Chains A and B, each alone.
Chain A
Amino acid sequence: MELYWYIIIALVFAMFFVLDGYDFGAGIIHLFFAKTEEDKEVIAKSAGLFWDSNEVWLVAGGGMLFMAFPTYYASVFSGFYLPLIIVLWLIMLRAIGLEFRSQFNFSMWKSIWDTLFGISSLLLALFFGIALGNIVRGVNLGGVEGGVSVYEGHYFFLPLWDGSFSPLTNHPGVIDWFTLIIGVIAVVVLAIHGANWIILKTDSSINQKLKSIIFKLNIVLSILTVISLSAWNFINPDALSNFSDRPYLLIFPLIYFVGIIGLFFINKIKNDTHAFYLSCMIIIGGITSSLASLFPVILPSTNDINESLTIYNTSTSAYGLSVAFNWGIVGLILLVIYFIVQKRLMSGKIDHMDYGH
């Protein structure tokens, strides 16, 4: 049962990053590449129409994580207190930026809220990447100091950074050079994803230019991927042993690399939907590969005293998990139906779509 819930929750979160990811990405593109007012307007709209229904996935995933793995929820959310609250603020500031910009037709007014929207999108992508980096790097569970736990073995607390920015110290912060690399990867991936989304959903004047931007970002992404893999191997020598023990898990990195390789042919891809699917593959492959490399661990311990958090030592009772599975399946089927209906209703370019607000 733990395994089923783990897969369900991982998929819901992956969906969240694919969906909200494109509107984060649209924000990044908006910040750096949108120059004319028409383009800014339409790119903001391509995010503004969808962000709130995309964030419903975060709520659903959070709720299920809380129910199925309460010890994990408690440990991770309190341990990563500051970055999580900052993420909440960024989510709100982004919404504020998106909704404020269209309230008055006055260019200085718009540029303030456009900048807020763009920067908070960029920082959100960075923070989500850093979060993933923290989970694969692991934390000092129990806050071990000189061989003694300061807290209960499954609790920890991380400052945003410590002076050395090194993942190898006793008490690494949330931001160190390793997690920062993962954060930058997330920014690049979501920028590609957002660019694909804009090409797919709008007739902006920069669509053609965005294709060459995607190509260039894809080169950057390939280089960063190699760097991050060797860095990961450097800080944790058996990081990739799960893949050699269970070769079928290699399907997840394969999804990631097919996405990257495919996007090198962005200028030859006729159907914009296909390009969008390729960047979806990069996101899903990246997340699932990271999780698969850790499995069944979901938060590694960096000391020898307290054991890592796994799906087995953080879950609720077997009865709770199985009774929830009954309603969970119904809920997930509804969720998929909802998703398909919404996609069909909102298909096509949004340039001339009228927003209800």
Chain B
Amino acid sequence: MEDMILYDRLQFAFTITFHYLFPQLTMGLSLIIVYFKGQFLRTKLDKYNDAAKFFMKIFAINFTMGVITGIPMEFQFGTNWAKFSELTGGIIGQTLAMEGLFSFFLESSFLVLFIFGEKLMGQKLHLLTAFLVFLGSWASGYFILATNAWMQNPVGYEILENGKYVLENFSALFSNPWLLPAFLHNQMASLVTSSFVVASIGAFYVLSKSNVEYGKLFLKTGVLFGLVSSLLVAFPTGDWNAKNVAKYQPASFAAMEGIFETEHAGAEIVLIGQPNMVEKKLDNKIAVPNILSFLTYQDWNKQIPGMDQFKEEELPTNVPGLYYSYHIMVGLGTIFIGVMGLAFFFLMRGKLFGFKPLLWTIMCLVPFPYIANITGWYVAELGRQPYLVYGLLKTVDGISPTVSSGNTLFTLLGFVGIYFLLGVLFLILVGKTIYQGPTPQKH
């Protein structure tokens, strides 16, 4: 049983982490493509159109990867989490099926139209297809977040005598107070990833002196989007989320902030430290007093319950993992604001394109928004433990009753092998696209 739950969780964590490398780019990038295409219609400058088409190529590769790594996610609900699917499928099946039916179709159909239909449709309709691709990918995110919001904070359900959860109020799924802050935070975070990708390709072109004109355009656009989104991801969306966690999952809040003991006159904010689960304290702690109480409740002296206030079985099962995920996310988010702010400052003074150390920094930072996005999801998922559906259904009670741990380990190893190949393929495809660069418009 112990092995079983471990392999099930590892397989889901591994496959969803790999999967989420792709949608986090496509969601943000689709908005930037709409911007490029819109700028082209406004200014009639070809470089904007070339940029839109270039990034749609990158989008298409990522979208395809998202599709083939996304099918296993849907399947795993049934294969590995059968009991969970049986009990809650009547509710989360709604939002997941809507995702498949509406957003997925919207995205894939208009992607095809965008790629093949420019001459056929004319420029205005071409912009419309880009917009619909954007709409589809954001709707996709919305339905997935609605599913997750129900697991974090279940609403609108009814429990039958046989233990099944059925839907009682459809609209409650979408007015869940957890949903909107989580969705906006997630979308802004994905825009951070995309801005960094756009800016770092730009930095690469400028530094390598190939496609320099495009490089400057990408840098400028990436920095503008990057500054705005990295600010918005922290405030107000990140702030809203933290307040939601404090309100609906106080035990997770204490664990992610690393508060072992309740302080009566306001809680400190931990900057650095390692959770010591034996002595129930943080080692090598650096913290600033009272800030956490102020940030959470706008009251310097408000008491925030620490982990000592909760029973062992209510606390997240992996406190250090949760704590580190949260602090990595917040730390990286702060660095992004700093780098993008600096880049914006130099951009405004007209000196960004010649300032090589900063261009190198932007180019090399590109993996980190991915890490921040993924650790952000780890915060949500580890914070919800030991539950699958917060307060209602424990993770151990959700796994498939008939699948043995040997079979799950077998499939986990298989996924690792195949995803390695997929990763190599992805790097070749994206690498070639970046190397070839945008194709200038022929007249």
Contacts and interface: CB of A to CB of B under 8 A. Distances in A.
B68 A74 contact: no
Contacts of B116: 345-346, 353, 356
B403 A56 contact: no
Contact of A320 (B90, B99, B432): B90
A70 B167 contact: no
A324 interface: yes
A123 to B, nearest CB: 14
B120 interface: yes
Interface string A59-88: 111111011101101111111011011001
Contacts of B170: 323
B216 interface: no
B70 A81 contact: no
B429 to A, nearest CB: 7
A52 B402 contact: no
A178 interface: no
A317 B168 CA distance: 9
A63 B89 contact: no
Contacts of A103: 428-429, 432
A345 B96 contact: no
Interface stretch (B72-80, B194-202, B260-268, B377-385): B72-80
A341 B401 contact: no
B85 A73 contact: yes
A76 B79 CA distance: 8
B45 interface: no
B101 interface: yes
B210 interface: no
Contacts of A70: 85-90, 93
Contacts of A76: 78
A238 B401 CA distance: 32
Contact of B102 (A89, A323, A334, A357): A334
Contact of B64 (A52, A85, A93, A324): A52
Contacts of A78: 78-80, 82, 400-403
Contacts of A357: 57, 60-61, 429
A67 B94 contact: yes
Contact of A88 (B61, B71, B94): B71
A96 B425 contact: yes
A67 B97 contact: yes
Interface stretch (B106-114, B228-236, B283-291, B326-334): B106-114
B67 interface: yes
Nearest to A158: B402
A56 B61 CA distance: 16
A143 interface: yes
Nearest to B64: A52
Given A59-B104, A63-B96, A99-B429, A88 B167 contact: no
B60 to A, nearest CB: 6
A345 B68 CA distance: 24
A75 to B, nearest CB: 7
Task: Please report whether the interface of chain B is mostly helix, strand, loop or mixed according to DSSP.
Answer: helix
Interface string A140-183: 00010000000110011100000000000000000000000000
Interface string B124-168: 000000000000000000000000000000000000100000111
B100 A60 contact: yes
A41 interface: no
A288 to B, nearest CB: 21
B212 interface: no
A111 interface: no
A162 to B, nearest CB: 15
A151 to B, nearest CB: 5
A151 B404 CA distance: 13
A345 B60 contact: no
Contact of A77 (B79, B102, B167): B79
A342 interface: yes
B428 A143 contact: no
Contacts of B83: 74
Given A155-B82, A156-B402, A345-B112, A66 B74 contact: yes
Given A66-B74, A345-B112, A96 B104 contact: no
Contacts of A305: none
B100 A316 contact: no
B425 to A, nearest CB: 6
B115 interface: yes
Contacts of A319: 166-168
A91 B71 CA distance: 9
B89 A59 contact: no
Contact of B166 (A53, A316, A338): A316
A151 B78 contact: no
Contact of B115 (A92, A320, A323, A356): A356
A100 B67 contact: no
B348 interface: no
A7 to B, nearest CB: 16
B1 interface: no
Interface stretch (B23-31, B34-42, B358-366, B414-422): B414-422
A96 B74 contact: no
A307 interface: no
Contacts of B113: 341, 345
Interface-centre pick from A81, A82, A99, A335 (highest chain B CB count, 10 A): A81
A68 B432 CA distance: 43
B272 interface: no
Given A59-B100, A74-B82, A320 B418 contact: no
A89 B418 contact: yes
Interface-centre pick from B61, B86, B120, B403 (highest chain A CB count, 10 A): B86
Interface of B: 56-57, 60-61, 63-64, 67-72, 74-75, 77-80, 82-83, 85-91, 93-94, 96-102, 104-106, 108-109, 112-113, 115-117, 120, 160, 166-168, 170, 400-404, 407, 410-411, 414-415, 418, 421-422, 425, 428-429, 432
20 contacts: A55-B67, A55-B68, A59-B100, A60-B105, A66-B74, A66-B78, A73-B85, A77-B75, A78-B82, A92-B422, A93-B418, A103-B429, A156-B402, A316-B89, A316-B93, A317-B160, A328-B101, A332-B101, A345-B117, A357-B57
CB-based closest 5 A-B pairs: A70-B89, A77-B78, A67-B93, A316-B90, A63-B100
Given A53-B112, A82-B410, 18 more contacts: A53-B108, A56-B105, A59-B74, A60-B104, A62-B71, A67-B93, A71-B89, A73-B86, A78-B401, A81-B407, A82-B411, A91-B71, A95-B68, A99-B64, A316-B89, A331-B101, A357-B60, A357-B429
Interface of A: 52-53, 55-56, 58-64, 66-68, 70-71, 73-79, 81-82, 84-85, 88-89, 91-93, 95-96, 99-100, 103, 143, 151-152, 155-157, 316-317, 319-320, 323-324, 327-328, 331-332, 334-335, 338, 341-342, 345-346, 353, 356-357
